Amino acid sequence: MNNPDNQDPQIADLRAVLALIEDGTVTRAARRLGLTQSALSYHLDRMRKRFADPLFVRVGNRMAPTPFAQGLAEPAARVLRIVETEIAGLARFDPALTDREFRIGVNEIGAIVLVPKLMKRLAEVAPHARLAPTQVSADTMAAALESGELDIVAGHVPRPHDALLRQHLYRRAYVCVARRDHPRIGDTMTLREFGRTPQVQSSSVPITFAWINDQLRKHGGHSLVRLTTEHVAAIPFIVAASDLIAIIPDEVYHLFRPIASIKKVRLPLRIPAIDVHQYWHSRVAGDPANRFFRSLVYAVGCERQPASPGDLSYT
C-alpha cells in the first residue's frame, strides 16, 4: 500500500506552506488558516517527506523558508489561484454580471408569447445576458439539449426522451375564433355549423385538430379546411380579413385581440388543453447557469393572464 505521506501535495499542504512563508510563525499561519498548530504541522511534515527538504528553519523568532520552499511559493500560489477562482467559480453564477447567451428552443407560439416576457425578465435580473430563441422539433430536441446547442426547450412534447428532465409550466387552452362582424356566426356555434364553416388551420397543434376531427366524425361531419399555414401569428389577421374560422391558443387570442378584429365563438364541447413543459438534459441539471435560466422560464411560464367573464372555458 502507498504511504499517504509520500503522495503528491494536496491543496491544504500548499496553503500551509504559503501561509507560513507569509506569516513567519506557526501560530499566526495556523490562525490564518483556521487550523490547530498540530494540523498545520501535519501538512508541513507531508511536504517535507514528499520533497525531502526541511522547507523552513528557525531564524530568530521566525521560520525562514529554504530555497526550495521559496521556489515552491510561486507555482503553489498559481495553483491556488486556479482552484479558488477558475475552478471554484464554475460552481458560482452571478446573473447580474454574466454575459452568457441563453439558448431556448420554442415553436412559433412560444416565440410570440413566452420569449417577450422572458426577455423582459432577463433584462431586469441579468442585464448583460443574451437570449437566442431557436425553432426546434420534437425529433431533434434531445440531441440539441445533450450537445449543449440548446439550454432548454419549452413547449408541448407528447413523448420526451428518457434522458430529459422536465417541469410543468402551464396548461394551454384553445379557443375558436371568427371575425367580429362575421355575417353568419354569432357568439356560439353547433358542431354541425362548425363542420360546415370554412376554416384556417395550423399544423402546430396536430393533437388538438385530431380531437376536433374525431368529434366531427362522431356527428357525421368533418373539418372544412380552406387554408393551412405554419404561421400561427398570421391566423388572427387571416380570420379578421375573411369569413374563415380557426382554433388558436387562448394566449394568442388575448395577444392579438387588441389589433385584430376577432371574437371568441363558444362551442358545445370543451376543447382539450395541452400541458406545456420546459425540458433540459440531465447532464446540465446541476449547472448553476442552467438552474438560473430554468427558474426564469418557470417564473415567466407560470404567469397566467386572468380570464374575463366573457372569456371563460367552454361548456
Per-residue pLDDT of the chain in tens (315 residues, 90 and over written 9): 344 445 677 888 998 999 999 998 999 999 988 889 899 999 999 999 989 999 999 998 899 999 999 999 899 888 888 776 666 555 678 899 899 999 999 999 999 999 999 999 999 999 999 999 999 888 899 999 999 999 999 999 888 888 899 999 999 999 999 999 999 999 999 988 998 999 998 876 667 778 888 888 887 777 888 999 988 999 999 999 999 999 999 999 999 999 999 999 999 888 889 999 999 999 888 888 999 999 999 999 987 543 333 332 222
Q: CB pairs under 8 A, 24+ apart, for 82-89?
A: 83/11
Handedness of CA 277, 280, 281, 287 (dihedral sign): negative
DSSP-assigned letter for residue 85: I
To 5 degrees, how large is the angle CA 149–CA 154–CA 160?
80
Question: SS3 helix, strand, coil % of the chain, rounded to 5?
Answer: 45, 20, 35
Grid cell locating 54: 526541511
What lies within 8 Å, CB to CB, of 150 at 6+ separation is 103, 104, 105, 134, 136, 141, 144
Grid cell locating 31: 490562525
pTM: 0.69
Q: What is residue 307's three-state secondary structure?
A: coil
Q: What is residue 276's three-state secondary structure?
A: strand
171 and 273 in contact (C-beta within 8 Å)? yes
Grid cell locating 204: 402546430
Q: Exposure string (b/e) for 255-284, b if CB count within 10 Å is 16 or more?
A: bbbeebebbbbebeeebebbebbbbbbeeb
CA atoms of 76 and 20, how far apart (whole Å): 13
CA dist list (Å): 213 to 138, 217, 224, 279: 23, 6, 10, 30
